[in-house]
Structure 1
Amino acid sequence: MSPDRVAAILDFLALADRLKLVERRGRIPLPDGTTRRENSAEHCWHLALVAVLMAGEVAEPIDLGRVLTMAAVHDLVEIEAGDSYAYDPAAQATAAERERAAADIVFAALPPDLAARLRAAWEEFEAGETPEARFAMACDRAQGFLQNVLSQGLAWREHGVAAPTTHPRMQPAMAVDPAFAALIGALYARAEAGGMFAGARG
């Protein structure tokens, strides 16, 4: 590699490191009984692990390398756009526009060939039309739901998210494959049993 290309890659990796500073609404339980907010980089790692574990469980063969690339890049736009909470209608209404503008900035920091490759992976994830993109979407939504269960539904209750509110987001993930229906269904059962949703009796 040329010195200029090496420098550009290192500069981009430094930019990408800022994803660790983007906080999500999901909470991480700590050993002392408190919680802290999950960051988007942690989410991407956990999503990737979900993908590795689920790749052999689904009926349709998927290209795991493509899925992991999407896992790595799908939230890089949040460096500029911030995280848009899934259950915040106002944030969701402007998310696509803000994230597309952010993608123009973030991916432009790379050499053109790498910019095109990473932008294409981000676009594939956003479009959700390929088997890999649908699988990645299901992993993404399963991870977010899992994080809420691990933290006993704290963010759900803080933001008034009742179980029916989650259905439009989670049903498409469950429909990807029976394996995702089983995984997410088990999470719903745990959440319901634990009274984790807003308005739950417990």
Structure 2
Amino acid sequence: MPPDRAASILDFLALADRLKTVERRGRVVLADGTTRRENSAEHCWSLALIGTLLHADVAASLDLGRALMMVAVHDLVEIEAGDTFAYDTAGRATQAAREAAAAETVFGLLPEDLGARLRALWEEFEAGETPEARFAMACDRMQGFLQNVLSGGIAWKDHGVTVVDTLPRMGPAMEVDAVFAALIGRLYDRAAEGGLLGGAR
């Protein structure tokens, strides 16, 4: 491997390591019962595990490797753009522009061929048109919902999130496959039982 290529890859990996410092609104419950904010790298690992568990059960034929590559890169832009809370209306209004600018910086660190490959995966995820992208999106949204249920709905309660607020986000995930509909439906039931979301389903 040419020295310049090796240096670029190592520089990119050093930047990518900063995803571990990007905090999300979801909470992680610690062994002593206290909580801390989840970081985006933990989120990516969790949804990769969800994808690994569920891919054989979905009806669509898909390339799990490609879906997992999207999972690995889909939040790298947050290193520069920050995480945007799913229910932050003002933040979501500027999210696409902030993340597109961040993509230039993040993927621009790599050698041209690798940068183009990772950027294409990120764009595929964002477009949500291929079976792999739709599957990855459903895993992504399920993971965030699951994290809120596991932590007692702290982030939801802090921001006054209601069942109605969640439907535009979770509905498309449930439509990807009956597997997601069943699992997310059970999570809604648990949220209702625990009084974690405002409003009725």
Task: Please give the TM-score of this superposition, normalised by the length of structure 2.
Answer: 0.98
Instruction: Name stretches of at least 5 consecutive residues in structure 2 with no aligned partner.
Output: none
Match of 2:10 in 1: 10
* TM-fit CA distance, 1:199: 6.0
CA contact 2:76–2:106 (8 Å) conserved in 1:
yes
Matching of residues 137-176 of structure 1 within 5 Å: 137-176=137-176
Matching of residues 66-85 of structure 1 within 5 Å: 66-85=66-85
Match of 2:112 in 1: 112
Instruction: Name stretches of at least 5 consecutive residues in structure 1 with no aligned partner.
Output: none
Match of 1:60 in 2: 60
Q: SS at the partner of 1:6?
A: helix
* TM-fit CA distance, 1:198: 3.6
Please tell me the residue identity of whatever aligns with 1:76.
L
Match of 2:44 in 1: 44
Match of 2:136 in 1: 136
Q: SS at the partner of 1:175?
A: helix
Q: SS at the partner of 2:176?
A: coil
- How many residue pairs get aligned? The number is 200
Runs of 4+ in 1 over 3 A off after TM superposition: none
CA contact 2:27–2:154 (8 Å) conserved in 1:
yes
Please tell me the residue identity of whatever aligns with 1:68.
L
CA contact 2:164–2:199 (8 Å) conserved in 1:
no
Deviations 1:89-140 (CA, angstroms, capped at 9, x unpaired)? 0000000010000001100000000000000000000000101100000000
Cα separation, partners in 2 of 1:171 and 1:199, compared to 1, 3 Å: closer
Identical columns (%): 71
Provide the C-alpha distance between the structure 2 equivalents of 1:48 and 1:23, rounded to a whole number of angstroms.
18
Match of 2:93 in 1: 93
Provide the C-alpha distance between the structure 2 equivalents of 1:53 and 1:61, rounded to a whole number of angstroms.
15
